[in-house]
Amino acid sequence: MVPALPTAPADPAAPGAPAAPAQPTAGTAGLPSTAPIPPTQAAGPITLQQLPATASEWSDAGSLAPDASGLAAFTATPAVNTQYRAVIAGSTAPATTTAPVRVIVRQRLLLRPATGGTVRRGTQVTFTATVRPIAGGAPSKVTFAFWRYVSGHWREIATRNVYTDAGGHARWTWTFGAAGRWYVRAMANPTATNANSAWSPPINYTVH
């Protein structure tokens, strides 16, 4: 049995980053259900504004008329960490703006080859991690971790950090120099625009 590795480091700029799926996920933002806008406040349209990590200014993402209870629901699918806020037009008073809500978006990582197997000692295997999204052209740092079963315990033998190329790929060639059971996995570290990915599923090898 392969034990779970320690939890991947969270985005340092995002306390309490959720254990979200690796892909960008749609979610309702801007008007949390715990803080509905009273009907008397929302006499006009409600505009959802966004501030992606790749931008420096707020922009409109959509506008809706509130329902009878004064609520408006927006669905967003951000590719990068993004802040959202709502601008509420009043009938007589100036427009009001809600406090920003930050949506954290994890990177996705796919490690290949996806299957291991039985190999001879000294065999070299090139592992390729594909990371998405590619945001702003900045590379992601991928950590490859190599574990071996030694004296009844799994031990991390080595880690290698590699930055992705322009296509979002990071590669490392590993030589299985000792007999026994091994596994390999990888993770994309946090960037300025996205939280870390989850660790990839382990790829298991038996070395003779």
* pLDDT value of position 95: 83
* Average pLDDT score over the chain: 82
Choice among 3-7, 82-86, 122-126 with the minimum mean pLDDT:
3-7
Sequence-ordered list of residues with C-beta below 8 angstroms from that of 180, at least 6 positions apart, any chain: 148, 149, 150, 206, 207
User: What would the 3-class secondary structure string for 156-207 be?
Assistant: EEEEEEEECCCCCEEEEEEEECCCEEEEEEEEECCCCCCECCCCCCCEEEEE
pLDDT value of residue 6: 40
Which is the CATH superfamily of the domain at 108-207? Immunoglobulins (2.60.40.10)
Query: DSSP string spanning 74-121?
Result: -EE--SS-EEEEEEE--SSSPPEEPPPEEE--B-EEEEES---EEE-T
Q: Is the pLDDT of residue 160 over 70?
A: yes
**Residue type for position 67:** D
Select the more confidently predicted residue: 142 or 18.
Answer: 142
User: Among all chains, which residue has been given the structure tokens 């992705």?
Assistant: 164
Half-sphere exposure in the Cβ direction for 54 (13 Å, CA):
11
Res 108 pLDDT > 60:
yes
DSSP 24-45: ---EE-SS-TTSPPPTTT-SS-
Write down the pLDDT at residue 15. 33
Please tell me the predicted confidence (pLDDT) of residue 44: 79
pLDDT at res. 67: 84
Question: CA torsion sign, 16 to 50 to 33 to 41?
Answer: positive
What is the C-alpha to C-alpha distance for residues 120 and 207, in angstroms, rounded to an integer?
5
pLDDT 10s digits, 10-57 = 333 333 333 333 344 333 333 333 334 444 455 678 999 999 999 999
Q: What pLDDT score does 92 carry?
A: 64
Q: How much is the pLDDT for 43?
A: 60
pTM greater than 0.85: no
Mean pLDDT of 168-193: 97
